[in-house]
């Protein structure tokens, strides 16, 4: 009965037309979308402050590995799709920052570009981009995102599995009765 949570995609593009287009494409595929117009706004949304990204003390508001309630997670981004050519911070720059971030590196990133430049494409893929879409982006491109989104989800659940193993050591192996030290199982 539990409704499947919608995947939330963050779209980054300095072009208003292209933001509208990608937003429409993603919504048609039932994704929840947040569209921003720059790499720095994207990082802000993801909870990373550029000058603090290597600072352990900065707690991002988004973490794919988050499973603690006290981490104030406001958003859960399943995938980032970004334009390559943007002023100030290119899509490649943004990709690098995401991959360098402990909390964000497992979020799949897709790059879009109106230019078909093999060296550019290879550079992005080598840096960890899942896919490279040539603009204008089509429905068939968006259909390819599902597998990357599911991959991202799989990575996200791995720490939980580890945690569960630890939990199983602490508590009774018979998990049908949860021992909360006297509290009744509801």
Chain residues that interact with another protein, rule: CB under 8 A: 15-18, 20-21, 24-25, 28, 85, 114, 135-136, 138-139
Nearest to 109 by CA among 101, 15, 37: 101
Residue 142 CB, nearest distance to another protein (Å)?
10
Taking the least distance from each CB to another protein, the nearer of 24 and 146 is 24
Residue 71 CB, nearest distance to another protein (Å)?
35
Q: 22 with 91: CB under 8 angstroms?
A: no
- Within 10 angstroms of residue 166's Cβ, the number of other Cβ atoms is 9
Residue 80 CB, nearest distance to another protein (Å)?
20
Distance CA 11, CA 23 (A): 7
Taking the least distance from each CB to another protein, the nearer of 55 and 114 is 114
Taking the least distance from each CB to another protein, the nearer of 52 and 136 is 136
Taking the least distance from each CB to another protein, the nearer of 28 and 147 is 28
- Checking 59-63 for CB contacts under 8 A at 24+ apart, the result is 60/101, 60/103, 60/104, 62/103, 62/104, 63/103, 63/104
Taking the least distance from each CB to another protein, the nearer of 97 and 135 is 135
Nearest to 21 by CA among 140, 136, 174, 183: 136
Question: What tokens were used for 175?
Answer: 């998990």
Residue 78 CB, nearest distance to another protein (Å)?
21
Residue 83 CB, nearest distance to another protein (Å)?
9
């Amino acid at each position: 009965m539990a409704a499947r949570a919608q995947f939330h995609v963050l779209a980054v593009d300095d072009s208003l037309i292209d933001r509208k287009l990608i937003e429409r494409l993603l919504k048609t595929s039932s994704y929840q979308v947040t569209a921003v117009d720059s790499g720095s706004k994207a990082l802000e949304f993801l909870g990373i402050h550029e000058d603090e990204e290597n600072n352990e003390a900065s707690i991002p508001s988004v973490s794919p590995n988050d499973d603690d309630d006290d981490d104030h997670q406001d958003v859960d981004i399943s995938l980032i799709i970004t334009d390559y050519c943007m002023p100030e911070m290119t899509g490649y720059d943004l990709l690098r920052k995401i991959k360098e971030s402990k909390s964000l590196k497992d979020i799949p990133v897709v790059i879009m570009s109106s230019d078909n430049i093999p060296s550019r494409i290879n550079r992005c893929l080598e840096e960890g981009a899942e896919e490279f879409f040539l603009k204008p982006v089509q429905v068939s491109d968006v259909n390819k995102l599902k597998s990357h989104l599911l991959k991202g989800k799989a990575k996200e659940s791995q720490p939980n599995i580890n945690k569960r193993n630890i939990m199983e050591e602490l508590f009774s192996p018979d998990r049908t009765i949860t021992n909360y030290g006297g509290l009744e199982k509801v």
